[in-house]
Structure 1
Amino acid sequence: MAGRVTVFVMCCVCDPDGMQLRQTMKLLLVGPKSPPVGGTTVLFDQLCAYLEGQDGVDLTVINSSPHVVGRTPVAIARFLARIFAQIRHHDACVLHASCTSKMPMVMVAVRLASLLFGKPCGFRAFGGSFPVFWQARSAAGRWLLARSVLRADQVFLETRESVAFAKGLTTTRVDWFPNSRPVSLPVHSRWGAARRFVFISHVKPSKGVLVLLEAAKALKGDDVVIDVYGPLQDGLTEAVFQDSRVTYCGELAASAVSDTLRHYDVLLLPTFYPGEGYPGIILEAYAEAMPVITTDWRCIPEITNDDCAIVVPVQDAQALREAIEALVNDQVYVEELRLGAAKQAKAFSSDVWGEYFLTRMRALVSR
């Protein structure tokens, strides 16, 4: 009786001379693609673009944006079924999501499919709200989180506070995966003491807009400019800027943020927004070698230090005004902060963190 030979074929990437370089890894990412353009979609798009440019990666993306998925029970069921069907054809799957009420349900589908097909799965949370989200859940909600998100093979959380909190709840691997931005560090023509200050964010009380208006009332220096960009929210209108030294300049497209920052000297973000994680606008300012004045709020101190930013108490208009005046009057201090911002930018480069994500995925698949 003739023997039977079983042949296993492995897909590999080779160089032009035929030398094997690396096995092709098939990754499935589930997350929010733009449009609309926002903090989470920008981050997810960045990572997808990085992975698509890497040799040895075969990437499939399932868009979880609500306007694509739909909001009806039937639409959500189809979305979950698509994830379930795709996981079997990939080496690993990672869900990228904000901490919302629907997130655990999606992660349950990912986790069940990964167990059924023997594929590793991961979870990445956007924002710094995981501890708050956990504490706000009922006993049943925490049970579901513990058996879905915290049973993933790999968990990525945006802030160190969130990582420390989650490590106390699970034995799975939990890693820091911060907000990041592309870094080019252009050479600026504007040097010297600061005269032009800018606020770019949602224009609402919890982002510190009213505190900024109060600080500007007694601000010294007739040539100091303070401009505000962003959508008006939570009841604020352009009327609050009347008879103020602060000028409201309207909304700003995400694609215009970097170019706009280059017309200013310092970013202002006196936020006390409850859901604040690592504000992307701070990292974008660093990428332009721009100093920041912000607040000692939630996880912001994790991405600031005395070399690149001035951190003031929350809702303290006097401290905010004094910080602005310190940069108006001290050219050497401003230039020191610019150098510090450029250094800080490199620590939050999207290329650096894209490579880290890829390294963790390769380790997950090969174990």
Structure 2
Amino acid sequence: MRHIMAKAGIIGHFGYGKELANGQTIKTKTVTGELRKQLGRENVITLDTGGGIKKLFIILLKCIRVLKMADNVIIMPAYKGLRILAPYISFFNFFEKKKIHYIVIGGWLPEYLEKHIIVRRCLKLFHGIYVETEAMKRKLERQKFNNVVVLPNSKDICVLAESELKDIKERPYRLCTFSRVMKEKGIEEAVYAVECINKLCGKVIYTLDIYGQIEKGYLERFERILKENESYIRYKGVIPSRKSVEILSGYYLLLFPTYYKGEGFAGTLIDAFSAGLPVVASDWKYNSEIVTAEVGFLYSYRERKQLVDLLVKLYENNELVNGKRMACLRKAKEFSVESVISVFCKYLD
């Protein structure tokens, strides 16, 4: 009797049994949840790659099982996993002849493939490589890829109703960050800017609330930073995904001063747009493609003075900020997980 094939098998880091709030796990779960909605739960099987080197042998064996049980195999590894999965899947797919899809998480792939020739060759055999931005696609096409598709990041999130949108006029203005709490995400750039402006003005004109999971190894330094600026900077913990819009909608601006080397299309930007919250971001990596003049403001990354000057300007001209709130809501609708994954599903046929 012939075994009934699943439409899609997803290999990625689900973090089952753990409370993980990193971009890789969130995107893997988001994509999987929507595929189950659109294809039917019975047509989607999964394999969790969590567990590291201790479970590598078992994971690799299960990869073969996924290849045999699904018409389409979707992999969603980070760079360490890609180095193993791409050659392994390519080899066994020589016999299975399935469509292999790689949904890229973050913006590190083009630079990574310049140094990893074997992985690059394997990925060219895949049915599709799905990157988050047009700029990433262009970089890969310069490496002779012809199977690259832009599939922007997306979230299963309720966009704030236009009737609930409010201009923020109460001072001091409340700023926030909403990302992993680590130096490379620009946490200290944000702290410096707020500290500098408040000292310059001789009073508190901005406060800063920091949300997100604190990176291992950064806790001690971060606690020291909070203690030194406790009158206007606070750590507010991790926001449950279903409450992000409700909480973020009360802020004046979201600060995203990242210079994280793996940055792609950060999910935090979708949360901000969905809350009608304009963004002040560094022009690092692909931010300029997402944080356009319609929905936010850019400054040169690691240029702290530019950030300070921009925030002073936006304090003095709140109409520049409040005038972008409606555009943020419109922008957010472009990144609904339903619409993005419906496009992806066309490549599974």
TM-score above 0.5, yes or no? yes
Give the whole-Å Cα distance in 2 for the aligned partners of 1:359 and 1:61: 20
- Aligned counterpart in structure 1 of residue 137 of structure 2, from 122, 140, 163: 163
Q: How does 1:133-144 map to 2 (within 5 A)?
A: 133-135=112-114, 137=115, 141-142=116-117, 144=118
Shift of the 316–193 alpha-carbon distance from structure 1 to 2, 3 Å rule, reads farther
Shift of the 112–83 alpha-carbon distance from structure 1 to 2, 3 Å rule, reads same
Q: Which moved more, 1:125-134 or 1:320-329?
A: 320-329
Residue 42 (structure 1) aligns with: 26
Contact 1:27 1:92 in 2 (8 A): yes
> 1:110-166: per-residue Cα shift (whole Å, max 9, x none)?
22232212222121221100122123x3xxx31x11332221111112232321122
Gaps of 5+ in 1: 1-7, 12-23, 363-367
Residue 96 (structure 1) aligns with: 76
Q: How does 1:117-196 map to 2 (within 5 A)?
A: 117-135=96-114, 137=115, 141-142=116-117, 144-187=118-161, 188=164, 190-193=166-169, 195-196=173-174
Shift of the 149–205 alpha-carbon distance from structure 1 to 2, 3 Å rule, reads same
Residue 274 (structure 1) aligns with: 261
Q: 1:103: how far off?
A: 1.4
Q: 1:301: how far off?
A: 0.8
Residue 210 (structure 1) aligns with: 188
Work out the percentage of aligned pairs sharing the same amino acid: 18
Aligned pair count reads 332
Alpha-carbon RMSD across the aligned residues, in angstroms, is 2.6
Q: 1:315: how far off?
A: 2.1
Q: 1:223: how far off?
A: 4.7
- Larger fraction in helix: 2
- Aligned counterpart in structure 2 of residue 227 of structure 1, from 196, 204, 209: 209
Gaps of 5+ in 2: none
Shift of the 90–207 alpha-carbon distance from structure 1 to 2, 3 Å rule, reads closer
Which structure has the larger Rg? 1
Q: What is the TM-score normalised by the length of structure 1?
A: 0.82
Structure 1 residue identity aligned to 2:315:
V
Residue 59 (structure 1) aligns with: 44
Higher relative contact order (CA 8 A, sep 6+): 2
Shift of the 25–239 alpha-carbon distance from structure 1 to 2, 3 Å rule, reads closer
Does residue 248 (structure 1) correspond to residue 227 (structure 2)? The answer is no
Contact 2:165 2:276 in 1 (8 A): no
> 1:297-320: per-residue Cα shift (whole Å, max 9, x none)?
111111111110110111223322
Q: How does 1:301-340 map to 2 (within 5 A)?
A: 301-340=288-327
Contact 2:175 2:209 in 1 (8 A): yes
Structure 2 residue identity aligned to 1:38:
N
Contact 1:159 1:299 in 2 (8 A): yes
Residue 111 (structure 1) aligns with: 90
Structure 1 residue identity aligned to 2:329:
A
Give the whole-Å Cα distance in 2 for the aligned partners of 1:253 and 1:343: 23
Contact 1:207 1:270 in 2 (8 A): yes
Does residue 295 (structure 1) correspond to residue 282 (structure 2)? The answer is yes
Residue 345 (structure 2) aligns with: 358
Structure 1 residue identity aligned to 2:185:
K
Give the whole-Å Cα distance in 2 for the aligned partners of 1:296 and 1:360: 32
Shift of the 171–191 alpha-carbon distance from structure 1 to 2, 3 Å rule, reads closer
